[in-house]
Amino acid sequence: MIIYPAIDLKDGACVRLLRGEMSQATVFNTDPGEQARLFQSQGFEWLHLVDLNGAFEGKPVNGAAVESILKSVTIPVQLGGGIRDLNTIGMWLEKGISRVILGTVALRDPELVKAACREFPGRVAVGIDAREGYVAVAGWAETSDIKALDLALKFEDCGVAAIIYTDINRDGAMGGVNVESTSDLAFHLTTPVIASGGVSSIEDLKALKVEEDTGIEGVICGRALYDGRIDPKEALALLSAPAVEDAD
């Protein structure tokens, strides 16, 4: 299972939001490139970036910060936020992003996601952010009447690299990851699932690791890495170990 350190970008700085509220931002580093280098030096094999301003505005906003990260590390990077058309997808992949994450457009224009998967095989993930089980979009400012699983099922056969599932009510709140809903989603899909939102301790990672065989391929971790609640070395050792056997 891969652990993805999260670098959320707001106004050029690395921040963490509380439950997706832009007004509830804590700045952890004003130098995104430096933060990326630190994560790479700690042994992480991927980075997860979100252009928060871009998610609200529907277009890339923190481009300079993203490019500084790409110049600072050699590990692969996935990016979401404000990516709404094929031109933007192509632009980011050309600049060195390994995988783009499509969120709002996945709900509003599923055919674009399928076209992107055909044009850029293996390099497109779908971000599904849910509030009480229903998909939220546009930087979580709008909640739809579509259930997370129903949206995920639309992309089962089109080559999506992963579904990144976030429980908004848990995100940044340090209340623990929603293992039950994440494993339930993964169980119903053949597409790998990456867990996100609420990871606050090594115990959360252990709980996800137990459910690895449902199809949970990775986990995104933000605030708990920044404030030291999760030790990178311990987390990497835990998640790189063989899958946990079910006692039953």
**Residues tagged active-site:** 8, 129
C-alpha distance across the termini of the chain, in Å: 22
Cα separation of 243 and 200, whole Å? 21
For 192, half-sphere exposure in the C-beta direction (CA atoms, 13 angstrom radius) is 13
SS3 (DSSP) at 146? strand
How is 22-90 classified by DSSP, letter by letter?
Answer: EEEEEEEES-HHHHHHHHHHTT-S-EEEEEHHHHHHTS---HHHHHHHHHH--S-EEEESS--SHHHHH
SS3 (DSSP) at 213? helix
| Token code pair at residue 116 | 């992107």
| Token code pair at residue 145 | 């009447």
Within a 10 A sphere around the Cβ of 240, how many other Cβ atoms?
12
Within a 10 A sphere around the Cβ of 19, how many other Cβ atoms?
17
User: At which residue do the structure tokens 């030291």 appear?
Assistant: 228
What is each CA distance from 149 to 78, 89, 182, 192, in whole angstroms? 22, 24, 10, 13
Residue 237 contacts residue 209 (beta carbons within 8 Å): no
